[in-house]
């Protein structure tokens, strides 16, 4: 009964993400005006900024899972940490791809070792290291704890990324500030708001599915090991 | 892709917001950059979803494999039980069998 209710909630979250993406695409391309100076390339912004926010969401999930695992080791926390790292890498990659494409037009070059760009790249590399560790170093207690420590270290970089523009200046714009996002046209604001909601629901559904898969994977591995021990199953489980 | 900064050619944009002033000269096609960014975005998102789906299929296959192994073990155990019962019946004295 509880499982069915959860499946229903998951379905609703996924449907919300899909409809919000459709609405975002419509508003971005058919309603939001083309920015006068940067031209059409400014529309990258409506997916670039929410991608960065989604990377933060994934990294936060990884941090919560990592702290939870170190405090109380179980499959749920471990799965959440790993799912969070995957989401952080996927959306971080989107940020690192879409940002330079915007910069090519706005700055005249793709990349510069600006504080925000450099710290964002570093953050993605930390989560890539987390996933490489989990993928190749096995799934033992020690590896899980080491990865959890890396997940906490990765989260320590998030405030540095966010405040790097204010602290050290650089080329990258301060996007979300106390004065607002800087978008003056109501349709521009609507496009960005819808995009934030779409990304939020999409990230929640990805975290949900991946965490449940990781938990199931751990249970299957244990069942397989038990069957090998009992002589019911011939093969050693793959690590 | 990672060109070095060219200060003289750099339009000084440090904001995503609506800008005053003359439009930036067309060094790169804005439409091409936008389309590339959106294709990259959807490609990454769809790859994530595809990998998730493949892993789900892998888990389902693993469960099937374990179920088959359990079935094999069960039928083997059943066959052993039947053989044992047959042996017991055969070894019992004839009077007891009647």
pLDDT (tens, 9 = 90+) of chain A, 239 residues, equals: 677 888 899 999 999 999 999 999 999 999 998 887 788 888 999 999 999 999 999 999 999 999 999 999 999 999 999 999 999 999 999 999 999 999 888 888 888 888 888 889 999 999 999 999 999 988 888 999 999 999 999 998 888 887 776 777 677 776 655 554 457 788 999 999 999 999 999 999 999 999 999 999 999 999 988 888 888 776 655 54
Residues of B in contact with A98 (CB under 8 A): 37, 40-41
Q: Testing the interface with B: which of A29, A94, A105 to mutate, by most B Cβ within 10 A?
A: A105
Q: Testing the interface with A: which of B3, B16, B44, B78 to mutate, by most A Cβ within 10 A?
A: B16
pLDDT, residue B5, reads 47
Q: How far is CA A59 from the centre of its chain?
A: 6
Cβ of A49 within 8 Å of Cβ of B16? The answer is yes
Q: What is the distance in angstroms between the CA of the first residue and the CA of the last residue of chain A?
A: 33
Query: Angle at CA B76, nearest 5°, toward B73 and B77?
Result: 85
Tokens of A54: 């989604």
> Which residues does residue A180 pair with via DSSP β-bridges, in sequence order?
A177
Residues of A in contact with B5 (CB under 8 A): 107, 109, 112
Residue B29 in contact with residue B23, Cβ under 8 Å? no
pLDDT, residue B9, reads 46
10-residue averages of pLDDT along chain B (98 residues): 46 57 67 93 95 94 91 84 81 65
Shortest CA distance from B58: residue in chain A:
A217
CA distance A140 to A15: 37
Cβ of A110 within 8 Å of Cβ of B9? The answer is no
Q: What is the DSSP string of A88-143?
A: HHHHHHHHHHHHHHHHHHHTSSS----HHHHHHHHHHHHHHHHHHHHHHS-SSHHH
Tokens of A157: 């970089």
Number of Cβ within a 10 Å radius of residue A150:
21
Determine phi and psi for B48, rounding to 5 degrees: -60, -45
Determine phi and psi for A28, rounding to 5 degrees: -65, -45
Residues of B in contact with A174 (CB under 8 A): 15
CA distance A99 to A111: 9
pLDDT, residue B78, reads 82
Number of Cβ within a 10 Å radius of residue A82:
29
Q: What is the ipTM of this complex?
A: 0.85
Length of chain A equals: 239
Tokens of A123: 């953050």
Q: Which residues of B7-24 are buried (b: 16+ CB within 10 A; e: fewer)?
A: eeeebebeebbbbeeeeb
């Amino acid at each position: 009964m509880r499982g069915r209710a959860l499946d229903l909630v998951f379905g609703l979250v996924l449907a919300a993400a899909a409809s919000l993406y459709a609405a975002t695409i419509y508003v971005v391309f058919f309603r939001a005006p083309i920015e006068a100076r940067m031209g059409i390339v400014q529309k990258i912004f409506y997916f670039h900024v929410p991608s960065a926010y989604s990377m933060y969401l994934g990294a936060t999930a990884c941090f919560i899972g990592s702290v939870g695992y170190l405090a109380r080791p179980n499959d749920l926390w471990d799965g959440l940490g790993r799912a969070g790292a995957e989401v952080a890498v996927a959306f971080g990659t989107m940020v690192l791809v879409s940002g330079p494409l915007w910069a090519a037009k706005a700055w005249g070059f793709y990349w510069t070792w600006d504080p925000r760009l450099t710290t964002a790249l570093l953050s993605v590399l930390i989560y890539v290291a987390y996933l490489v560790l989990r993928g190749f170093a096995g799934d033992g207690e020690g590896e899980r704890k080491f990865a959890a420590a890396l997940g906490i270290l990765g989260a320590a970089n998030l405030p540095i990324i966010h405040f790097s523009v204010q602290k050290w200046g650089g080329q990258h714009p301060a996007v979300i500030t106390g004065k607002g996002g800087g978008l003056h046209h109501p349709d521009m604001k609507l496009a960005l708001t819808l995009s934030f909601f779409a990304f939020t629901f999409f990230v929640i559904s990805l975290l949900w599915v991946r965490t449940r898969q990781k938990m199931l994977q751990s249970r299957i591995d244990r069942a397989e090991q038990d069957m090998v021990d009992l002589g019911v199953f011939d093969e050693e489980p793959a690590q | 892709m990672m060109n070095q900064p060219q200060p003289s050619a750099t339009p000084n944009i440090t904001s995503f917001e609506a800008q005053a002033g003359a439009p930036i000269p067309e060094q790169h096609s804005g439409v091409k950059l936008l389309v590339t960014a959106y294709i990259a975005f959807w490609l990454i998102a769809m790859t994530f979803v595809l990998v998730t789906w493949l892993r789900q299929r892998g888990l389902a296959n693993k469960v099937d494999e374990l179920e088959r192994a359990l079935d094999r073990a069960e039928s083997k155990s059943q066959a052993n039980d039947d053989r044992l019962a047959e042996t017991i019946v055969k070894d019992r004295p004839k009077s007891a069998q009647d």
